[in-house]
Amino acid sequence: MEKNQQELYEYARKRVKQKKRVYLHFILFFVSSVFFYIINKILDVDPQDDWYLWAITAWAFVFILHFIKIFVIESFINKTWERDQIAMLVARQERRIEQLEKKLENDNSQAV
């Protein structure tokens, strides 16, 4: 397998693994939410307080953050974006070095 194909395969494998974890997280969230409700309301564990709502809300917040990270952020801040940013920064540094070298040459020529 060529290096480029290997890189594409590894990226695809990583994305599938990330998405699989999000789906698993959702299943766990859903099952646990039902379980929290059953414990609080049906088994009468501290029934005067609706603590299950706080647990579900906190977990939903964490799940939403996980979902956003995988499906929003990772979709546009990926390897290609990373390579483009590195290339841009390297080009900027090279331009700056050229400017400094020209300035140094001009200073040396004026000093002579």
d(CA 63, CA 69): 10
12-34 pLDDT, tens per residue?
899 999 999 999 999 999 999 99
46-75 pLDDT, tens per residue?
778 889 999 999 999 999 999 999 999 988
pTM equals 0.68
Question: Residues with Cβ < 8 Å from 22, sequence gap 6 or more?
Answer: 66, 67, 70, 71
What is the largest distance, in Å, between two alpha-carbon atoms of the chain? Answer: 92
- Per domain, the residue ranges of the chain are 1-76, 78-112
